[in-house]
Amino acid sequence: MKAIAAVFSLALPIFFFFSGVQSATFTIKNNCAYTIWPGTLTGGGKPQLPSTGFELGPGASQTLDVPDGWSGRFFARTGCSASSGKFSCDTADCGSGQMACSGAGAIPPATLVELTLAENGGQDFYDVSLVDGFNLPVALALQGGSSGCQSTSCPANVNAVCPPELAMKRPDGAIIACKSAGLALNQPQYCCTGDFGTPDKCPPTDYSRIFKNQCPQAYSYAYDDKSSTFTCSGGANYAITFCP
């Protein structure tokens, strides 16, 4: 399961209900020492969630109800501001020009939490992915469920060990995100494309090992399925914490 990538200033839960449809509760929390702007993207051509982007100050959290059968991703933007009516962010910007991403995904590099929820109490699939690079540590914890249901995370600050050729920097030289080798170098052996488009032809590289060493549970490159995809049966709720 590879990369499937309004302002609320108070820590008050916002609930979105889907009439007649069972749902999982997702709690998104900001443990960072600064404000972040989480975003959501629904895949598979299905309708977007009622909230596709919002602000979370330090220590704040928001709660969303996500319907059974939903598939998509969560991410968090940093360094966001509005200028001349256009909203933009330093990392993981979704390019919508607004706080709501409205069906647009994070522009890499971005840490992604990806999920496909089962219908009728089946098996959920989920992962943390660094295939599109890294901007923030994140943890995904589960509550409930009957089988499997292991938490997963990328708790380390990959920016601290990011090679110069992958680093995304502010004008003052501070590293704010770490690009994937595929994005930074655009070569097929790092992107797993062309002659390298199958698992046997695209093994881990020195660059992907940097990500894997920091975050062993997270996807480090496109074919990192064996140690990075997790499942849960029985209908769990999820807690996503940035800067765990």
Q: Name every residue whose Cβ is closer than 8 Å to that of residue 206 and which is 6 or more positions away in sequence.
A: none
Burial class from Cβ neighbours inside 10 Å (0-12, 13-18, 19+) for residue 52 reads buried
Buried/exposed 115-147: b ≥16 CB within 10 Å, e otherwise: bbbbeeeeebbbbbbbbbbbbbbbbbbbeebee
pLDDT tens per residue, range 190-215: 999 999 999 999 999 999 999 999 99
> Does the pTM of the predicted model rise above 0.85?
yes
Q: Show the domains of the chain with their CATH numbers.
A: 23-156+217-242 (2.60.110.10)
Contacts by residues 146-151 (CB-CB < 8 Å, ≥ 24 positions apart): 146/233, 146/234, 146/235, 147/232, 147/233, 147/234, 148/123, 148/230, 148/231, 148/232, 148/233, 149/232, 149/233, 149/234, 149/236, 150/230, 150/232
Residue 5 banded pLDDT, cuts 50, 70, 90: very low
Report d(CA 80, CA 91) in Å as an integer.
8
Strands 230-233, 167-169: pairing is: unpaired
Residues counted in the chain: 244
Segment 143-153, tens digit of pLDDT = 988 888 999 99
Tens digits of residue pLDDT in 43-81: 988 999 999 999 999 999 999 999 999 999 999 999 999
